[in-house]
Amino acid sequence: MKVLFFNYEYPPLGAGAANASAYILEEFSKIPGLEVDFVTSSIDRNYHLKEIGTNVKIHRLPIGKNGKKLHYQSKKDIIIYTLKTFFFSRKLIRKAENSGQPYNLTHSFFTVPCGFVSLIFRKQYNIPYIISLRGSDVPGYSDRFIFLYNFLKPLVKFIWNNAAEVVSNSEGLRDLARKTDNRQDFGIIYNGVDIETFKPAPEARPNDKFIITNGASRITARKGYGYLIEAVNRLQKKYPNLLAKIMGEGDDKKRLEGLVKNLELENNVQLLGRIHRDKLAPYYQEASLFVMPSLNEGMSNAMLEALASGLPIITTETGGTKELVKDRTNGLIINMKDAEDMAQKISLLIDNLELRNKMAVANRELAKTMSWGSVANQYFDLYKNVTAAKLEK
């Protein structure tokens, strides 16, 4: 089976969807009979080819990046990626057809722009395609794109309607997608987690600090980290050893830095910037608590990594979090945009070691059921079903 896979983000570009692609491709490399060409963006002005095993090729196309703003792709970046991916992939398709080993299907992470490329190849070469919904490609998901969604909705629906399969990474994101098209059939394949890399290490926690982590994430207004900083401000006199370490880059980081400075929280809040995914595990292991005050979320990779690391969770009830966190069982649910409620819940867990330990055990057990190997095999099964359906026509 031969698959052409698109995602404009791949580490170190991007965040959750990029990391998900990386893990899935690693698992794909272990599947006999599967050959994958993955087309993504370069982090510099050159084309790069990386191979994983003998059956996965990662093609990085230059879109004008220069090492800055790797977390964020501008409209210009996305347009350039779309054009270059179309022309580059068309060559791959023609070469494959001439060799007598054509692509069975294309797979796009994000409806736009990647799904648009898949749609074109469906029309030109009759190659069926799968769309994986990742969050911002679903109308209504991100405040940043509210105006743009009004124009994109008809295109988004058209791409979904022509797909062989449309797959969400959570029930919450699927429900949001249904608000755009309630006639479309949406499947679900959850994100996975690397339970061997992300695992508890209680000995790594410092005795003189109670560390809160957010995991690897984009720093945008949608993530709600300003409310976390305000919650820490309410708690720092009672708990002077409290330290929130916020990882990631994004367009809200500068504002958060100003907030930390204005509240004089330099000893209680650290904005760490981007941490390479190969170096993430120790940041979870040193922490005693994971907090995600997001205003909207799909299936958060960071939360899954926190579960695997045996961390109790404090989060808003949004998107995939509703499927992962049961209030008072493996975490605490907080009101959205409510720093006071968050402060109260953080205080409850700081003061209750027994409850923290109970949640930690529950989360590690939950993570064990959600490996990336399982995710990759679910996609491979979907590939086989789509291929079989085409042959029957």
Give domain status of residue 139, yes or no: yes
pLDDT in tens, 137-171: 999 988 777 888 888 999 999 999 999 999 999 88
Is residue 18 pLDDT above 70, yes or no? yes
How big is the chain by its Cα radius of gyration, in Å?
21
Q: 276 and 215, same structural domain? A: yes
- Nearest to 360, CA basis, from 334, 331, 325: 331
Tell me what pLDDT residue 136 has. 87
Shared-domain flag, residues 291 and 385: no
Taking alpha carbons only, the member of 201, 198, 228, 232 closest to residue 302 is 198
- Res 30 pLDDT > 80: yes
Whether the per-residue pLDDT at 211 is higher than 90: the answer is yes
Domain hosting residue 354, numbered range: 202-367
Q: How many domains in the chain?
A: 2
The β-bridge partners of 57 are 37, 51
Percent of the chain with pLDDT over 90: 80
- Which token pair is 17? 């969807």
Per the CB < 8 A criterion, the answer to whether 325 and 304 are in contact is no
Q: Is residue 186 part of a domain?
A: yes
Do residues 165 and 38 both lie within one domain? yes
Q: Give the rounded distance of the alpha carbon of 64 from its chain centre.
A: 23
**Mean local confidence (pLDDT), 174-190:** 95
Same domain, 243 and 269: yes
Q: Which two tokens stand for residue 26?
A: 């690693």
Kindly indicate the confidence band of residue 69, based on its pLDDT and cuts at 50, 70 and 90: low
- H/E stretch holding 36 reads strand 35-41
Q: Do residues 118 and 176 both lie within one domain?
A: yes
Cα(319)–Cα(313) distance, rounded to whole angstroms?
Answer: 15
> What is the predicted pLDDT for the residue at 216?
79
Residue 115 shares a structural domain with residue 226: no
The helix-helix angle for 225-235 and 253-262 (nearest 10°) equals 10
Mean pLDDT score across all residues of the chain: 94
Is the same domain home to 303 and 357?
A: yes
* 183 and 225 belong to one structural domain: no
In a domain, 197, yes or no: no
Has residue 39 been placed in a domain? Answer: yes
Judge whether 226 lies within some domain: yes
Does residue 231 lie within any of the structural domains? yes
The DSSP result for 16-73, as a single string, is HHHHHHHHHHHHHTTSTT-EEEEEEE-SSSS-EEEEETTTEEEEEEP-S--SS-TT--
Supply the pLDDT for residue 71: 65
Give φ, ψ of 35 to 5 degrees: -120, 130
CB atoms within 10 A of CB 94: 12
Instruction: Indicate if 360 and 259 belong to the same structural domain.
Output: yes
As a whole number of angstroms, the distance between CA 234 and CA 236 comes to 6
Q: Is residue 287 part of a domain?
A: yes
Q: Which residues pair with 35 in a beta bridge?
A: 2
Let me know whether 209 and 136 are in one domain: no
Q: What share of the chain is helix, strand, coil (3-state, %, to 5)?
A: 45, 20, 35
Q: Domain of 321: which CATH number?
A: 3.40.50.2000
* Cα–Cα distance, 135 to 141 (Å, whole number): 6
Q: Are residues 71 and 156 in the same domain?
A: yes
Number of H helices and E strands in the chain, helices first, is 13, 14
DSSP state of 62: P
Tokens 């490399």 belong to: 29
Q: What is the pLDDT of residues 101-128, one digit of tens each?
A: 999 999 999 999 999 999 999 999 999 9
On the CB side of 326, CA atoms within 13 Å amount to 8
Question: 302 and 279 in one domain?
Answer: yes
